[in-house]
């Protein structure tokens, strides 16, 4: 794979980001991906405190010896640590910050002062235009089928749509587990990809074996969107527990979530409850199986070291061809 403009911008060998994943991405996974020539990503909230997060960043720097890596910051009001975690990113010179939810303005200004790049998760054209005006360096186009909080638009639509109206580099995210999908994303206008679910079934992912096995055993059709975890649609594997609790909020929960007086606390409480469920399912054996994953599960067949996953993706990419029309 030739180095492209994204590779030059981030000083990386391959235009592949291992998407930051709550509970899944720790220092080892991030370092393994960055050392294999991609960019390992981790959410700052995977650590209980800002001090622990700083220690993790230092550990990644030590393990990767100057190779690029990424940190995800949730930049809306629900994240009470955002200012402190942003300061860590700036102090430690984190090469790439990926923002999600809320306005990335302060993050962009702060990280640009230390020469780092900021890419923003986007699920709509309007929001992409907004972050372009704020000075973002690139977009993570979160498409339908993605793990975590999926977008609503198909990559077939969203990538060329962004390409047509926004000038920033585009990173395609959602459902990518095979090199041919990287090639397809590039044809559609992306210059890099962000991959999450594939790396849950990696040797380094910091989750219980049952979760990794569930990724391998699940079919694409098993992925459903639930409102129950955070109040916004999140992709999970349809397990008996998910079927039991249902996918929608009940009328009272919906009312409390929308009401001006109660929405802040309801969202916070729902988020804490969801995070706790995800945590016990990711790290222990429980019948409350809430496993976050995207539609890419259908193509994942084995647990591999992250380096091998990257190598395989590159190999598949090299072998993919656009068939001629005649
Ligand atoms: C288990 C899981 C947890 C995730 N947690 C986060 C997160 O904390 N922050 C974030 O920006 N994205 C998060 N994501 C989204 C990924 O970074 C990435 O954009 C997405 O997984 C790409 O879609 P794919 O899973 O279909 O490859 C998560 C995804 C998964 C599967």
Comparing C-alpha atoms, which of 268, 264, 259, 282 is closest to residue 230?
A: 268
Report whether 228 contacts 222 (CB < 8 A).
Answer: no
Report the pLDDT value the prediction gives residue 188, as an integer from 0 to 100.
97
- For ligand 1, pick from 43, 196, 271, 292 the residue to mutate: most ligand atoms within 8 Å of CB: 196
Give the sign of the dihedral formed by CA 294, CA 69, CA 183, CA 179: negative
Q: Residue 277 above 80 pLDDT?
A: no
Report the pLDDT value the prediction gives residue 198, as an integer from 0 to 100.
98
Burial bucket for residue 180 (CB in 10 Å: 0-12, 13-18, 19+):
middle
Q: Residue 57 above 90 pLDDT?
A: yes
Task: Give the whole-angstrom CA distance, residue 78 versus residue 95.
Answer: 24
Q: Residue 200 above 80 pLDDT?
A: yes
Q: Residue 228 above 80 pLDDT?
A: no
**Is any ligand 1 atom within 6 A of the Cβ of residue 121?**
yes
Mean pLDDT rounded to a whole number for the chain: 92
Q: Residue 262 above 80 pLDDT?
A: no
Kindly indicate the confidence band of residue 106, based on its pLDDT and cuts at 50, 70 and 90. very high
Give the Å distance between the CA of 147 and the centre of ligand 1: 5
Structural domains in the chain, CATH included, are: 5-206+302-319 (3.20.20.70), 219-292 (no CATH)
Give the Å distance between the CA of 150 and the centre of ligand 1: 8
Report the pLDDT value the prediction gives residue 104, as an integer from 0 to 100.
96
**Is any ligand 1 atom within 6 A of the Cβ of residue 100?**
yes
Comparing C-alpha atoms, which of 37, 2, 43, 1 is closest to residue 17?
A: 37
Q: Tell me: the pLDDT tens digits for 280-326? A: 778 877 777 889 999 999 999 999 999 999 999 999 999 998 888 87
Kindly indicate the confidence band of residue 245, based on its pLDDT and cuts at 50, 70 and 90. confident
Give the Å distance between the CA of 315 and the centre of ligand 1: 24
- Tracing tokens 């942003």 back to the chain, one arrives at 86
Look at 58 and 263; give whichever has higher pLDDT: 58
Give the sign of the dihedral formed by CA 242, CA 74, CA 146, CA 67: negative
Q: Tell me: the pLDDT tens digits for 149-165? A: 999 999 999 999 999 99
**Is any ligand 1 atom within 6 A of the Cβ of residue 151?**
no
Report the pLDDT value the prediction gives residue 216, as an integer from 0 to 100.
97
Report the pLDDT value the prediction gives residue 238, as an integer from 0 to 100.
94
Q: Residue 231 above 90 pLDDT?
A: no
Q: Residue 258 above 80 pLDDT?
A: no
- For ligand 1, pick from 16, 19, 159 the residue to mutate: most ligand atoms within 8 Å of CB: 19
Q: Tell me: the pLDDT tens digits for 71-85? A: 999 998 778 899 999
DSSP 55-115: HHHHHHHHHHTT--EEEEEE-STT-TTHHHHHHHHHHTT-SEEEEESS--HHHHHHHHHTT
Report the pLDDT value the prediction gives residue 232, as an integer from 0 to 100.
82
Report the pLDDT value the prediction gives residue 304, as an integer from 0 to 100.
98
Look at 282 and 113; give whichever has higher pLDDT: 113
């Amino acid at each position: 794979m030739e180095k492209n403009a994204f590779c030059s911008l981030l000083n990386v060998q391959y235009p592949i980001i291992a998407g930051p994943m709550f509970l899944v991405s720790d220092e080892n996974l991030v370092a393994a991906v960055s050392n294999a020539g991609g960019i390992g990503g981790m959410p700052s909230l995977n650590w209980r405190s800002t001090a622990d997060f700083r220690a993790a960043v230092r550990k990644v720097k030590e393990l990767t010896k100057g190779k690029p890596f990424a940190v995800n910051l949730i930049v809306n009001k629900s994240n009470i640590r955002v200012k402190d975690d942003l300061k860590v990113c700036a102090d430690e010179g984190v090469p790439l910050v990926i923002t999600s939810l809320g306005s990335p303005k302060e993050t962009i200004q702060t990280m640009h002062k230390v020469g780092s790049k900021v890419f923003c998760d986007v699920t709509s054209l309007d929001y992409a235009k907004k972050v372009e005006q704020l000075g973002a360096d690139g977009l993570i186009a979160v498409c339908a089928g993605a793990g975590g909080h999926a977008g609503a638009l198909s990559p077939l639509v969203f990538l060329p749509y962004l390409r047509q109206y926004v000038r920033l580099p585009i990173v395609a995210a959602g459902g990518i587990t095979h090199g041919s999908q990287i090639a397809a994303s590039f044809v559609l206008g992306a210059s890099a990809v962000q991959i999450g679910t594939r790396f849950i079934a990696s040797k380094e992912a910091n989750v219980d074996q049952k979760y990794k096995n569930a990724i391998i055993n699940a079919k694409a059709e098993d992925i459903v969107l639930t409102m129950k975890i955070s109040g916004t649609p999140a992709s999970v594997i349809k397990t008996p527990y998910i079927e039991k609790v249902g996918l929608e909020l009940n009328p009272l929960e919906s009312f409390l979530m929308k009401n001006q007086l109660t929405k802040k606390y309801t969202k916070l409480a729902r988020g804490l409850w969801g995070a706790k469920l995800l945590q016990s399912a990711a790290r222990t054996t429980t019948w409350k199986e809430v496993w976050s994953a995207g539609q890419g599960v259908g193509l994942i067949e084995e647990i591999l070291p992250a380096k091998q996953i990257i190598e395989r993706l590159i190999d598949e990419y090299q072998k993919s061809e656009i068939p001629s029309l005649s």
